[in-house]
Amino acid sequence: MCCIDRLKSQATSGRSLLGSVYSCLRPKANIEADMLGNKLEAHMTKKSEILSIFILALLMDCAWSSEGFILKAGQGEALQNGIVVKASPDLGTELSILVEQTFQRGGSTTLHLHEQGEELFYVVSGHGTATLNDTTEQIGPGDVIVVPAGEIHRISNPDDDEPLMVVFFMDSPELVDLFRAIHERIISEPNRPITPAEIADMEKQTGGGRTIN
């Protein structure tokens, strides 16, 4: 059922309008949807404000439904540092993220950790190294790296001319929020290199990770 159909069915169930809109985006959060919708509508005295949100919901594509979506090769949200976000809450998931990242020769992540959950990597093509705590190993196509929450890790392509491509998965969205913050900063001031202090501040604000100095 797409958003329009879901809104129609919920309109007859007594659910608040904004609650119905929210539940279209997050279908499993029905109780949260009602609470949010009722709270917001209590502060909206103008019917036009509510109507505007209703119209916005009707214009949303049905790909936002919980029924899933198919993303073809070459599609996704392209960000800095060879990152392409393939799936995230903004693209239609509940919480999970799936990201593709390509490392040219000399490219690498920082040495970092994520406290919000484990991270799973799959090597699509190319060769490089994976560091997990005190261990560094060569990686190639088909290899999998499992990084528990709070463990220090890094992916890099130190000296291979063939790009290293990996995809990684997490069941929480904060890391994508961090990628977007870094991307927006770089494109807004392309002539000023981003500093470690700026990245550390973004990490703290988004909860996406923590760089290890």
Q: State the pLDDT at residue 81.
A: 93
Q: Are residues 99 and 145 in the same domain?
A: yes
Task: Using DSSP, state whether 83 is helix, strand or coil.
Answer: strand
Distance between CA atoms of 151 and 146, rounded to whole angstroms? Answer: 10
Q: Does residue 158 fall inside a structural domain?
A: yes
Q: Are residues 56 and 104 in the same domain?
A: no
Q: Are residues 98 and 164 in the same domain?
A: yes
What's the total number of domains in the chain? 2
Distance between CA atoms of 17 and 169, rounded to whole angstroms? Answer: 34
Q: Are residues 114 and 166 in the same domain?
A: yes
Q: Does residue 70 fall inside a structural domain?
A: no
pLDDT interval class at 11 (50, 70, 90): very low
The answer to whether the beta carbons of residues 21 and 37 sit under 8 Å apart is: yes
Q: Are residues 59 and 82 in the same domain?
A: no
Q: State the pLDDT at residue 49.
A: 52
DSSP H helical segments within 43-80, as ranges? 47-59
For the entire predicted model, the pTM comes to 0.69
Q: State the pLDDT at residue 92.
A: 85
Q: Does residue 152 fall inside a structural domain?
A: yes
* C-alpha closest to that of 36 among 46, 47, 24: 24
Distances (CA, A) of 105 to 127, 194, 196: 10, 21, 22
Q: Which DSSP symbol is given to 97?
A: E
Q: Are residues 162 and 188 in the same domain?
A: yes
Q: Are residues 56 and 95 in the same domain?
A: no
pLDDT at 158 over 90: yes
- Mean pLDDT, range 33-54, rounded to an integer: 50
Q: Does residue 69 fall inside a structural domain?
A: no
Q: Are residues 100 and 194 in the same domain?
A: yes
Q: State the pLDDT at residue 137.
A: 97
Tokens found for residue 9:
């069915």
pLDDT interval class at 78 (50, 70, 90): very high
* C-alpha closest to that of 73 among 63, 65, 83, 84: 84
Q: Are residues 60 and 139 in the same domain?
A: no
- Give percent above pLDDT 70 in the chain: 69
Q: State the pLDDT at residue 69.
A: 86
Q: Are residues 25 and 60 in the same domain?
A: yes
Q: State the pLDDT at residue 181.
A: 95
Q: State the pLDDT at residue 99.
A: 97
- Mean pLDDT, range 78-104, rounded to an integer: 93
pLDDT interval class at 53 (50, 70, 90): low
* C-alpha closest to that of 36 among 60, 66, 58, 16: 16
Q: Does residue 71 fall inside a structural domain?
A: no
Torsion of the alpha carbons at 49, 53, 56 and 62, rounded to the nearest 10: -170
pLDDT digits (tens, 9 = 90+) for 93-112: 888 999 999 999 999 999 99
The answer to whether the beta carbons of residues 74 and 82 sit under 8 Å apart is: no
- Domain holding 31, by residue range, is 3-64
Distance between CA atoms of 124 and 143, rounded to whole angstroms? Answer: 8
Classify burial at 154, counting beta carbons within 10 Å of its beta carbon; exposed 0-12, middle 13-18, buried 19 or more. middle
Q: Are residues 169 and 120 in the same domain?
A: yes
- Mean pLDDT, range 177-187, rounded to an integer: 95
